[in-house]
Amino acid sequence: MLMAIRDRVMGFVGWLLLGALFIAFAFFGLNSYFTSDAKSYAADVNGVEITIPEYQRAYQQTRNRMQNLMGEAYNPAMLDEQALKKSALQELIREQLLLQEADDDGYAVSKQLVAAQINAVPAFRDDGGKFSVEKYRQVLQLQGMAPAEFEWRLSRELLANQIINGIVQTAGVSRQNLEKIYRLQTQRRRFSYLELPARESAAKVEVSDSDIEQYYSAHASDFMTPERVKIQYVELKADELQVSGEPGDEALHALYDEHSDRYVTPEERRARHILVSLSPDAGEDAEHKARAKAESLLARLEKGESFEKLAKETSDDPGSASNGGDLGFFSRGVMAPEFETAAFALEKGGRSGIVKTAFGFHIIEVTDIKPQHAKPFDEVRDELVKEYQAQERGDLFSDQAEMLANKAFEQPDTLQGVAEAVGLEVKTSDWLTKEGGAGIGQNEMVVNAAFREEVLETGNNSEPIELGDQHLMVLRILEHEAAEKQPLESVKDKVTAEVRVTKARELTSARGDSLLKELRSGTSLADIAKAQRLELKTTGLIGRDAAEPASRLVTEAFLLPSVTDKGLSTAGFSLESGDYVLLALEEIKDGDFSSLSQADQLKARQELDRIIGASEVSAFTDELKNSATIIIPEQAN
């Protein structure tokens, strides 16, 4: 959590840049779904309103961040839209509480600090690495945001962050507590255990008709037919939209010119080098010796010695020395700046003087040059046609998506108006349960939307559901069947099996509890294992994160006190499988903080300080929330 807190200074900027390629929802006309109630705000925090647009933007940024974190694994069906909305709103409320606290405490953010933060954003820099006003405005324009609004939002983040930093930077742990926590956290334990399998008890179970009837009555909810629905839906897919015929050459040339850099293969150089390495923290004497060595090598080259041979014999670059110093072809932006400047200033066959970089001293020789090459218009014409048509489909999709959202809201009890307005077919699904179904019912987002209260109970159209990139759906309930209790005769076999499993668990648990009493009265675990014909297993000294044995056993072993008044600590417990485990603790070895190096001790302290700081920030914001008056209209929940 603390890493997220520390990142929040640039959090908004990060979200902004990550979301630049994923803004389709900004055009979907979803405002009606956020503002369908009489309330015109998403939340009221101590009399300060969080507006609907703020809420929408925060929700979309949260969504975009999830997509970018998931990368190629992104699947809209994996996202819980309602949870994302709640998360976005709670983050806005948290920020507003911190802002109010900062204001009450007299905190302020200077224009100079805001400017410095903006200047530090790489996306706002030109190719030379300098801040570009034009680039700044272009990036913001992608989000439909003016510089003034962005700077206002950034200043708010910086202001709230002052409160957070004040808490985090003062959080700390004493040496005594640090050592104690480290001892416990890195403690290792050795224990023995044996497992009583439930299957042995299952063979002894007898099930009567009375048992079946009683279990069936007591667990009626387990034997219900699943609630199910049939839905009507319309789908809007960009790749199915029909656009005008092939564009003319004028439009294609304009697109070619707009993205000309895409069709240019930059100049590449092939070079070889000899490196005399030098540590970045080397003193003057070491640097003088390294330079002298490089100069002597350069002198040998000038006398006619083979560059390739000399590189093999003397270069300190392990990656290229065996190849005679050959680095292959590279373009600008790959090598160290000083190396690149020298290499791209040479002609083919040219050799540099002594070039210093962070790695040491280089002698560079350019062996080949591939000049910049631009693909001609005719060569990429087909690609341009596809791109132009894809843009047309994207524009048409945005227009139709907004129309779809608005019509679905204006006519909430039918999809016919939506279908006619956008030219779509109203489709019907097979029966779907909450577990899914065939066809469209395999999509988790569709199933979740169909069983939401506002769709299932009111009979209204759903909100637009994003099933993929430029793929939307709106659905409504066509038929609904509530869950019903199944007759006993139709589920008797299932009930019988459940009774048998339950009784087997009870018998195994009773047997285990009886053996636990023996263990705690002085009988050794080894003797119990022998008498019961069970395998006794013993671990080595293992930590809390040991992969074996099963995590439940490790957890239980580390919950035990070191000793009891009767000696070894013991435990008995049932597993989810119904098996029963008897466990005896045999040895405990605490971690030794003093054995750590100074660097590792510092690292351990910093990590614990980080955790404590995050905990204190969380507690502080919870306290602010508990003492605040917060109103959240129903539609924002």
Peptide bond into 549 cis (omega under 30): yes
Can you read off the two tokens belonging to residue 604?
């351990």
pLDDT at 634: 65
Place of tokens 């405990």: 588
Topology, domain 187-220+488-589: Chitinase A; domain 3 (3.10.50)
Q: Return the pLDDT at 78.
A: 64
In 90-214, the DSSP E strands lie at 188-196
Task: Dig out the tokens for 480 from the structure.
Answer: 């609904």
Question: Within 10 A of 493 (CB to CB), how many other CB atoms are there?
Answer: 10
pLDDT at 585: 93
Complete DSSP assignment for 363-397: EEEEEEEE--EE--GGGGHHHHHHHHHHHHHHHHH
Q: What is the pTM of this model?
A: 0.48
CATH code of the domain occupying 2-171+621-636: 1.10.4030.10
Q: What is the pLDDT of residue 609?
A: 84
CATH 3.10.50.40 range(s) for the chain read 267-371
What are the strands, taking DSSP E only, across 385-464? 427-428, 432-433
Q: Where are the beta strands (DSSP E) in 77-174?
A: none
pLDDT per 10-residue tile (average), the chain, 637 residues: 32 34 32 43 90 81 76 66 85 90 87 85 80 81 76 87 83 84 90 93 86 90 90 88 72 73 80 91 89 95 94 91 92 88 94 93 95 79 75 80 88 90 90 89 88 87 86 92 90 90 92 94 93 94 92 94 73 93 93 88 85 87 91 71
- Provide the pLDDT for residue 1: 28
Q: Report the alpha-carbon distance of residue 17 to residue 304 in Å, rounded.
A: 53
Q: How far is 346 from 368, CA to CA, in rounded Å?
A: 10
**Residue-level pLDDT at 250:** 75
Is the CATH number 3.10.50.40 carried by domain 267-371? Answer: yes
- The reported pLDDT for the residue numbered 564 is 61
* Kind and range of the H or E run holding 199: helix 198-202
Name the residue among 527, 523, 544 with its Cα closest to residue 589.
544
Contact 447, 250 (CB under 8 A): no
What are φ and ψ of residue 22, in 5° steps? Answer: -135, 65
pLDDT reported for residue 534 = 93
SS3 assignment, position 577: coil
Segments of 310-429 assigned E as strands: 326-330, 355-357, 360-370, 373-374, 427-428
Residues whose CB falls within 8 Å of the CB of residue 167, separated by 6 or more in sequence, listed in order: 613, 616, 617, 620
The predicted structure's pLDDT at residue 76: 61
d(CA 616, CA 610): 10
Outline which parts of the chain fall under CATH 1.10.4030.10.
Answer: 2-171+621-636
Determine how many CB atoms are found less than 10 A away from the CB of residue 616. 16
Structure tokens at 177: 């507590």
Provide the angle, in degrees to the nearest 10, between the axes of the packed helices 11-18 and 147-170: 130
Q: Are 304 and 287 in contact (CB under 8 A)?
A: no
Q: How far apart are CA 542 and CA 535, in angstroms?
A: 20
pLDDT at 229: 93
Do residues 251 and 265 lie in contact, with contact meaning Cβ atoms separated by under 8 Å? no
- CATH architecture type of domain 227-243+393-482: Roll (3.10)
CA distance 165 to 105: 14
